[in-house]
Chains A and B, each alone.
Chain A
Amino acid sequence: GAVVSQHPSRVICKSGTSVKIECRSLDFQATTMFWYRQFPKQSLMLMATSNEGSKATYEQGVEKDKFLINHASLTLSTLTVTSAHPEDSSFYICSATGTGRYEQYFGPGTRLTVT
């Protein structure tokens, strides 16, 4: 149990376009989902926390107008990178936790390359 999927696994887009990444909990209801960013050979940095039906809470320094997060249901959260630029290229990972669960379960990640 506790499987989290992400789609797409890899995406290449042109500078100025927007990209949407989906995160789904497959076998549990995710009351809270998280989005992380990871640069090469670095640790994970939390970008935002989202609760189903509520606005996301962004970490300091993360532009909420650039990284739009929607947690519309108990199994789906989306991250949209708007007007992407090459510096947005990174590995984006989502995680989820559910009612009565203390652990976070991670998706396989999405590698975004902006050209």
Chain B
Amino acid sequence: GIQVEQSPPDLILQEGANSTLRCNFSDSVNNLQWFHQNPWGQLINLFYIPSGTKQNGRLSATTVATERYSLLYISSSQTTDSGVYFCAVEEGTYKYIFGTGTRLKVLA
């Protein structure tokens, strides 16, 4: 099956800093999503991005499908950005494989 690796595994930032999270996957995929899991466990959809670039406020994402990676950019980080960020790729029809996650802590 597809392997999905994320880096870095852990990240600590000062409020206001920028960061880039990476998701590498081992085979071609049809769909890719980025999620933020808040401290209460809720997964929040950030981007549905099988290819190309999207932006939503301070967040943006880029997926280069031919090179099998996706990047999530967080600018001007805030303490509320803390949590775990997952990418998930679709294997087959609708079956999502989750990455290893990046645990982010933003300090005030």
Q: Which of A32, A34, A43, A97 is the one whose CB lies under 8 Å from B86?
A: A43
Contact residues of B: prevailing secondary structure? strand
Contact residues of A: prevailing secondary structure? strand
Kindly state the separation between the CA atoms of A17 and B84 in the bound complex, as whole angstroms: 32
Taking CB atoms and an 8 Å cut-off, the chain B residues in 12-39 that contact chain A are: 31, 33, 35
In the assembled complex, the CB of B27 is this many whole angstroms from the nearest CB of chain A, namely 17
Name 16 A/B residue pairs within 8 A (Cβ), A-sorted.
A34-B94, A36-B98, A41-B103, A43-B99, A43-B100, A43-B101, A44-B86, A46-B95, A46-B98, A49-B94, A49-B95, A93-B43, A95-B43, A102-B48, A108-B41, A108-B42
Taking CB atoms and an 8 Å cut-off, the chain A residues in 22-48 that contact chain B are: 32, 34, 36, 38, 41, 43-46
A-B contact count (CB 8 A): 49
In the assembled complex, the CB of B87 is this many whole angstroms from the nearest CB of chain A, namely 10
User: Would you call A106 an interface residue if the criterion is a C-beta within 8 Å of the partner chain's C-beta atoms?
Assistant: yes
- Report the interface size for chain B: residues with CB under 8 A from the other chain: 20
Kindly state the separation between the CA atoms of A111 and B86 in the bound complex, as whole angstroms: 19
Most buried by A among B31, B35, B95, B96: B96
